[in-house]
Chain A
Amino acid sequence: MSKPRKSNYRLSGERLLKHLDAVLHPDTGYPDKPSWGYAFSYLAALLTKDGESSPLAKKALHHLALQDSTDLNYSWEFVVYALQTARYRSPNLIPAHMDGYREKGTRMFNWFLLRRLNKKLCNTYNTIDHLKLWLASKIYQESSGLILDEFKTRSLQYHAFCLFAIAELLETDPGNTWLKRWFTEGIRFSLSQTLEDGTALYIGRGQEQIFGYGALIYSIEYCHSKVKTLNEDCINQISARLLSFQREDGSYPLVLRHRDPEPKTANFADDKPAGWYGYNTLYDYQPFLAYCLLKASNLR
């Protein structure tokens, strides 16, 4: 990875976390209730210089522990991933009632991949999981390279998040040739769909959302650093497009567009911003983006 790109990711990720720290109230939490955003705020904060002693890490962990994890709709897949990844950096702080493997069971393919990854992180991954993953790699990827989040649909954002999950699986099993082929075919598809200005997520659920850009940036940088050298022009275009949307206060809009921009503090209930879904919140997607940027900046 080129040095300027890497330092741009770090700078942008740190500015975004500074913004998140400023809006995360110690008593009331984020201005809009996140699903798994506290877990990713904590994880992202661990990638900064102050790590677990940073105010953001402490506040995020506090609010994470207060979440109602008994709710049937609690997004365990994302929380388990964040906490089990955080465990490697800060093993002693995970709330006891959130430790270990749990799942909500959402059937979308990106959640399926996250479950396989979480099983690896929790050391509960077995031969059946491996067989399921192998079968899924054959069924859920079209010959074009597109990974389907649901059959008969097409979403460039969820394709990108699937690549993120596969990159993480590959990290646990670097010698796996079919996993590598699956991943590189997916990356090839993403790059082939990217327009010359770096617009990469223009069709499907979650068009042009920062969640997908975070996942895509990390996946292509991971591929470029560890799997296969890619065309740097295309990476530069995607990266430049994303970073150009960062506001002066460090925040990002949830959907990237220049015309008719969304309000800075948008939330779905009050604003119904264009291009958002009912489950979207800035405080899930901004922490995830910060995490991906910082994680990409750490790639060697």
Chain B
Amino acid sequence: MSGIQRCRLPDGTNVVWAVPLSGMGHVADEQPLPYIQRRGVELTPRFGGEEQQRESGLTSLPVPYGYLAGRWPWRQRIFNFPRRRINIYWRNIFKDATRKDRLFHFIEQLEFIATRHGFAGSSPLLKYQRSFQIGTNCIDVSDVIEFREDLHFAELYLCPWADFQTIDSSTKCHIQPTITANYFKPIKSSTGAACWHAHKVLDAKYRRGDRLTWEYKYLIK
């Protein structure tokens, strides 16, 4: 199935999100947080474009990512070994998702499936789940990370989200995350320029069994 999920709020607002493609697709194929649109007016961004540009590349997606502090754990290396993007280019047969720069992007490192209320991804190192609850004029999104192994990130970006940064009286959608952002960067996609927000943690160490949670509330006026 396409993995594209759509619903319509009572006031005619359209909400679209999609189950991640586990690193096999293009950035533009992903919509891990709601794309909200009402009568042709975009209230939240879409993602993707020329992937060689940082602003529309993999790290512009609102899914957690980080850089491992040490070498890739063997269990993740073995997990990644058959996961090669030969569906895009044959030459990717020589390249798996175990990146030299130690970028651990959840989209790429986890295998995702659809769940009843969203999607869940898993790898030998962690499990990650995102659920969507649709109200009459709001959308609640909940994220949970459960560590299956001890893991040490040199830097980690949690609770990522994106908006158009038009905070004025005409703003039709306010996004309220439960973790305050301390990191911002410009991104761009077919909906134009937008801002990516996240909570950046340096030297982040987690033990097996640790659990992180946060939520986002999308309030639509």
Contacts and interface: CB of A to CB of B under 8 A. Distances in A.
Interface in B26-73: 26, 28-29, 31, 35, 37, 39-42, 46, 48-50, 52-53, 56
Q: What is the size category of the interface that chain B forms with chain A?
A: 35 or more
A268 B56 CA distance: 14
Q: What is the size category of the interface that chain A forms with chain B?
A: 35 or more
A197 B1 CA distance: 24
Interface stretch (B123-131, B145-153, B184-192, B206-214): B184-192
A203 B193 CA distance: 17
B25 interface: yes
A155 B12 CA distance: 24
B26 A257 contact: no
Contacts of A174: none
Given A206-B28, A208-B190, A152 B87 contact: yes
B202 interface: no
A155 B29 CA distance: 6
Contacts of B37: 195, 197, 199, 202
Contacts of B56: 274-275
B4 A260 contact: no
A199 B90 CA distance: 33
A41 interface: no
B14 interface: yes
B45 to A, nearest CB: 10
A261 B42 CA distance: 13
A258 B40 contact: yes
A199 B28 contact: no
Contacts of B190: 202, 207-209, 255, 257, 274-275
Interface in B175-197: 188-193
A152 B189 CA distance: 21
Interface of A: 107, 142-144, 146, 150-155, 189, 193, 195-199, 202-209, 241, 255, 257-261, 268, 272, 274-278
Interface of B: 1-4, 6, 8, 12, 14, 16, 18, 21-22, 24-26, 28-29, 31, 35, 37, 39-42, 46, 48-50, 52-53, 56, 87-88, 90, 164, 188-193
